[in-house]
Amino acid sequence: MIKGDNGFVPSVPLRIAVRGGVDTMALLLTEDGRVRGDGDVVFHGAPTHPSGSVRLTETGHGTSWLELGLPAVEPRIARVLVVGSTEHGAIRDVVGLSVEAFAPDGTSVARYDVTDGAGETAMVLAELYRRAGGWKFRAVGQGYANGLAGLATDHGVDVAEEGAGAGAGAQAPAPAVPFAVPSASAPAVPPAIPPAVPPATLPFPRCRSRSRPRPLPRPHPLRRCRSAPRPWSLPRPPPRPSGRTGPSSSRTRGPGGTTT
């Protein structure tokens, strides 16, 4: 098949191979093209539908298998979408992307090789839908530039709840802030006050208390000047005469040199 082709398939349990190593999921839609709830999304986190009609298995080698029991599909389900998505790169970069349906005896009943992918990261590869009391297989090939989140939202999936399990459907978390941002509601915390240093550990001597004045130094006793003469070293007065002096013994010299 090429994109847009469709054809009847037997209303028997089918096995659908999705090749290319993409993440595979199935959406079970009602007539209005929307899921009824979380249970209608089958992916690696919830690989089995509650009714048991759809089950996802992976065998490795880049191939995922959807086991679709058409006779067991609930009457309210009108379509089953086969979805592929990538975590890195685009659908056009996937090598060997294809969808193929097999009957219980291993016979291929439908195949679609996806060769016209573009820059999308999610795509509805194929769908099985009710028609005239039977089932038909259609090669869809409808990509979504906004990824799995856009595809899921278009079909009624709550991305906030299902995106985390569906893988690429979850929005990327915001990058971490390289520095702490203080909260506007949180009260500011004052910086811690460093503990007081005890006086014994201070690196400089304590000042003496001013309540007790320092005693004044005693005055040094006066010293005699060495250059001053001592009392006993002064010149002695001339000795007194040994004779007695008085009126009887006093003599005077006259004008002529005579003594009187």
Phi, psi of 65 (to 5 degrees): -120, 130
177 falls in which pLDDT band (50, 70, 90)?
Answer: very low
Check pLDDT > 80 for residue 213: no
Please tell me whether the overall predicted TM-score, pTM, comes out greater than 0.75 for this model. Answer: no
pLDDT reported for residue 88: 87
| Fold of the 6-162 domain | Lipoxygenase-1 (2.60.60)
Q: Return all residues near 98 (Cβ < 8 A) that are at least 6 apart.
A: 17, 18, 19, 20, 111, 112, 113, 114
Q: Which amino acid is at 127?
A: E
**Which of 2-6, 172-176, 194-198 has the least mean pLDDT?**
172-176
pLDDT reported for residue 76: 97
- The residue ranges of every structural domain in the chain are 6-162
Rounded Cα distance, 145 and 114, in Å = 16
Rounded Cα distance, 7 and 109, in Å = 9
**Which of 20-34, 62-76, 98-112, 235-249 has the least mean pLDDT?**
235-249
Q: Mean per-residue pLDDT for 83-104? A: 94
pLDDT averaged over every residue in the chain: 77
Which of 90-107 are b and which e, b meaning 16 or more Cβ less than 10 Å from the residue's Cβ? Answer: bbeebeebbbbbbeeeee
